[in-house]
Amino acid sequence: MKVDKVNPLIEFDNVSVRYRLPHEKIASLKEYAIRRLKKSINYIDFWALREINFKVYQGELVGIIGSNGAGKSTLLKVISRVLRPTLGSIRVRGLVAPLLELGAGFDYELTGRENIYLNGTILGFKVKDISKRFDRIVDFAGIKDFIDSPLRTYSTGMITRLGFAIATDIKPDILVLDEIFAVGDEEFQKKSIKRIERFKSKGTTILLVSHNLNQVKSMCEKVVWLEGGITRAVGPSKEVIEKYQRTKR
Ligand SMILES: Nc1ncnc2c1ncn2[C@@H]1O[C@H](COP(=O)(O)OP(=O)(O)O)[C@@H](O)[C@H]1O
Ligand SMILES: [Mg+2]
């Protein structure tokens, strides 16, 4: 297999992301509209990411670490095109399979069956292709007996398994994983790690957010350490994780 180490698959160019929160509580939509016209809404600006610059090449396994609120999920959302940078730009080439926060892309009132179609469509697959892969997805997720029950009756583990099964049924160019191993059971972890390893051997690029530093160290060759929206370090896993652990002691 030919691996392209010249043209990056993901390229962050001075990416900053700002969340904007209304400062005061606004009672109604009418009040909001009036105050908006009068420009009398006060916002609190919060920069969740500041001037992020790094590149990811084909086949790389990159871990993203940092404290709660560091900006890890925001970074993955920018890659998955769920969020647009406020400043700067990002280039992403290829099919992205995003596994973001729990339940993203699902409707809890719909059944598992309906959600497979809903989520698959959001990921950009055709209905015909989803039908072809339906049984395989249900089988991998291990939810056969619950397939016609509404998603709200599922456990968090079942929802995570279903999300993973849909997003990874075909090999993506870029796999984005936001703490998916925090909820699944051990058997699911083994199964999904096997699938991830297979993608890896076929050149898929993987970005992984995990609190399990041992897992990051064993799976990823490169680590990005975020703190307060700023990159504290980018480099070989062992080096960056040791630096990170020194500040935690
Ligand atoms: N939709 C949002 N609106 C306002 N602030 C947000 C939003 N999402 C996240 N934040 C804030 O941005 C910061 C980074 O969040 P996040 O990217 O989820 O961090 P992490 O995944 O590293 O815990 C946090 O302080 C969080 O409170
Ligand atoms: Mg997060």
Per-residue pLDDT of the chain (249 residues; tens, 9 = 90+): 566 778 899 999 999 999 988 777 777 888 888 877 877 777 889 999 999 999 999 999 999 999 999 999 999 999 998 899 999 999 999 989 888 877 778 999 999 999 999 999 988 889 999 999 999 999 999 999 999 999 999 998 899 899 999 989 988 999 999 988 777 688 888 888 899 889 989 999 999 999 899 989 998 999 999 999 999 999 999 999 999 999 987
- Amino acid in position 164: F
Q: What is the CATH number of the domain that holds 63?
A: 3.40.50.300
Q: Is residue 157 part of a domain?
A: yes
Q: How far is the CA of 62 from the centre of ligand 2 (A)?
A: 16
* Structural domains counted in the chain: 1
Q: Is residue 218 part of a domain?
A: yes
Q: Is residue 71 within 6 Å of ligand 1 at its C-beta? A: yes
Q: Say if strands 230-236 and 222-227 run parallel, antiparallel, or are unpaired.
A: antiparallel
Q: Is residue 43 within 6 Å of ligand 1 at its C-beta? A: no
Q: Which ligand is nearest to the CA of 70?
A: 1
| Reported pTM | 0.86
Q: Is residue 208 part of a domain?
A: yes
Ligand 1 atom closest to the CA of 229, numbered from 1: 14
Q: Is residue 176 part of a domain?
A: yes
Ligand 1 atom closest to the CA of 226, numbered from 1: 22
**Of the residues 16, 18, 74, which should be mutated to test ligand 1's pocket, given the most ligand atoms within 8 Å of the CB?**
74
Ligand 1 atom closest to the CA of 67, numbered from 1: 22
Q: Where are the beta strands (DSSP E) in the chain?
A: 10-22, 43-52, 55-56, 61-65, 87-92, 96-99, 174-178, 205-209, 222-227, 230-236
Domain assignment of residue 172, given as a range: 10-14+56-248
Q: How far is the CA of 73 from the centre of ligand 2 (A)?
A: 4
For the chain, the residue count is 249
Q: Is residue 34 part of a domain?
A: no
